[in-house]
Amino acid sequence: MLHWQTLLESSLKQTRDEPESRFFQLATVNDKGMAQNRTVVCRDFSSENDTLRFISDTRSAKFAELRHQPNAAICWYFALTREQYRLTVAAAIDTPQTNIALCEHYWQGLSRLGRQQFLWGRPASIRPQPQQPLQTATDSEVVPVHFCVVTLNVFAVDYLNLKGNPQQRQSFEKKHSQWHSTDLIP
Ligand SMILES: Cc1cc2nc3c(=O)[nH]c(=O)nc-3n(C[C@H](O)[C@H](O)[C@H](O)COP(=O)(O)O)c2cc1C
């Protein structure tokens, strides 16, 4: 039986020419107990550490939600390989104040357009003049104070492969640093 890390590495490899295969949905819970969901870009997957990373803005709702409740869920579907991964994760967040080297690493890897998204005003605040282009700060070499890198530590995986008859479903659970897997009826 293959480990989920090997399966995910293989899915990423097979879909490397499709940018959308790097997008996954991240569900969090807000302070009212309501589920919230959005798409983010996977910037890194470490099969050794069981972690995924994405970058974000500390002024966004997801930052407050993950601070309040670090447990979150990912749903990631690879259309080409017809595989779904549902990952149960715990988030750890780094900002320029907690780990400048890590934040600089991801900031330097962004295109000018990618950086610009962090240089507008506060996310979700009202845009005063929608007909005018958004003004951005000019200095994009310096990591903004509100930039953050979110590391998601995976501790359970539900894997579903729609290819083949029967379909394949496996559950993986990490207990005391050891992974245990079980074959399930899809
Ligand atoms: C394809 C795609 C990729 C995205 N990637 C990110 C990302 O990596 N980080 C991020 O903070 N927001 C990303 N977003 C925007 C989020 O989905 C969301 O709209 C925004 O971050 C506000 O979410 P929040 O209010 O739940 O914090 C992406 C959106 C799309 C459609």
Give the pLDDT confidence of 10-49 residue by residue, as tens digits: 999 999 999 999 999 999 999 999 999 999 999 999 999 9
Q: Tell me if 23 CB under 6 Å of ligand 1.
A: yes
Comparing CA positions, the residue from 176, 2, 159 lying closest to residue 74 is: 159
Residue 149: other Cβ atoms inside 10 A: 23
* Residue nearest to ligand 1 atom 10, measured at CA: 56
pLDDT of residue 83: 98
Confidence of residue 182 (pLDDT cuts 50, 70, 90): very high
Res 133: pLDDT: 82
pLDDT tens readout for residues 91-117: 999 999 999 999 999 999 999 989 999
Distances (CA, A) of 178 to 6, 172, 173: 16, 10, 8
Ranges of beta strands (E only) in 18-146 are 23-29, 35-41, 44-46, 51-57, 71-78, 83-94
Domain 4-122+139-184 has CATH 2.30.110.10: yes
HSE on the CB side for 15, CA within 13 Å? 20
| Ligand 1 contact via 53 beta carbon (within 6 Å) | no
Contact 119, 144 (CB under 8 A): yes
The ranges assigned to domains in the chain are 4-122+139-184
Contact 107, 119 (CB under 8 A): no
CB of residue 56 inside a 6 A radius of ligand 1? yes
Atom of ligand 1 nearest to the CA of 61: 27
Reported pTM: 0.96
